[in-house]
Amino acid sequence: MKSLHLAFARDDDPAGRLLPVRDGRSGTLHALQYCRDGTFLEVCHFESDGDAGLEDVLAADDRVLDFETFDADGERGGGEVADTGRWCFTRVEPGERVVELLGLVERFSLLLDTPFRFDAERVTVRVVGTAADISDAADALPEAVRTDMRVVQLTDYVPGRDVLQSALTPRQREVLHAAVDVGYYADPRTATVADVADALDVAPSTVSEHLRKLEARVFARLT
């Protein structure tokens, strides 16, 4: 099985509408269901630095047909602190190109592997299937979709790996990849925070802060 990562540019074109908001907020789309009436049911998590006024944004959008928001902070069992941020459950009228893409997913027996990561510039989507089915679906993509799409990577499908990476922001993933490349997580360790900082051309204190936050996010999902 293969996992294909695709990045789509975020813009105000209604045809490409997937998410319940279009104002550049960052977060993850955790659940997506296409209903018979042509709408989507979605569960999204918005990061804590971009949730101000979320209810007002949703209420003002005529393509958001119903919604409920709730906090993500608090304590889980055993004293574990949950992620901060804002969650929302929405029923959304999708864009025409999104509906067309979902038709291809069904036609070629592919699986949408949530969660999807989104930020101010792009939405990263993962589809899972056989190499042959993914290739056939790619050949059938409309030209209008190809212009807005970038292939990030095609890898072997490893259940669970993408879920952990989706918990990280794009910058945290960049720092993580650099740390792995220079040997910071090797056993035995062959690099320091300063080496990671040199690879990214940033201050060691910046790298240290990113590493602390990304490790906290990953480890919280392993317990």
pLDDT at 161: 61
What is the phi/psi pair of residue 156, to 5°?
A: -65, 145
Contacts of 155 (CB under 8 A, 6+ apart): 2, 3, 5
Residue pLDDT, tens place only, 20-33: 887 778 888 989 99
Are both 94 and 127 inside the same structural domain? yes
Among residues 157, 191, 208, which one ends one of the domains?
157
Q: Give the other-Cβ count within 10 Å of 81's Cβ.
A: 11
Within 35-112, where are the H helices?
Answer: 54-59, 96-107
pLDDT at 76: 39
At 111, which helix (H) or strand (E)? Answer: strand 111-112
The answer to whether position 134 is within a domain reads yes
Whether 79 shows a pLDDT value over 50: the answer reads no
Residue 121's pLDDT band (cuts 50, 70, 90): confident
pLDDT at 72: 63
pLDDT at 163: 61
Give mean pLDDT, residues 135-157: 85
Of the chain, the percentage scoring pLDDT greater than 70 comes to 86
Are both 107 and 36 inside the same structural domain? yes
Are both 138 and 182 inside the same structural domain? no
pLDDT at 81: 36
Based on the structure, what is the number of domains in the chain?
2
Whether 132 shows a pLDDT value over 90: the answer reads yes
Are both 80 and 27 inside the same structural domain? yes
Among residues 157, 180, 209, which one ends one of the domains?
157
Name the residue range of residue 19's domain.
Answer: 2-157
Q: Which of 71, 61, 65 is nearest to 23 (CA)?
A: 61
pLDDT at 77: 39
Least confident of 46-60, 100-114, 190-204: 46-60
Residue pLDDT, tens place only, 149-191: 888 888 888 776 656 666 777 788 889 888 988 999 888 899 9
> Considering the entire predicted model, what is its pTM?
0.68
Residue pLDDT, tens place only, 32-58: 998 889 899 999 988 754 445 888 889
pLDDT at 162: 59
Are both 132 and 175 inside the same structural domain? no
pLDDT at 203: 92
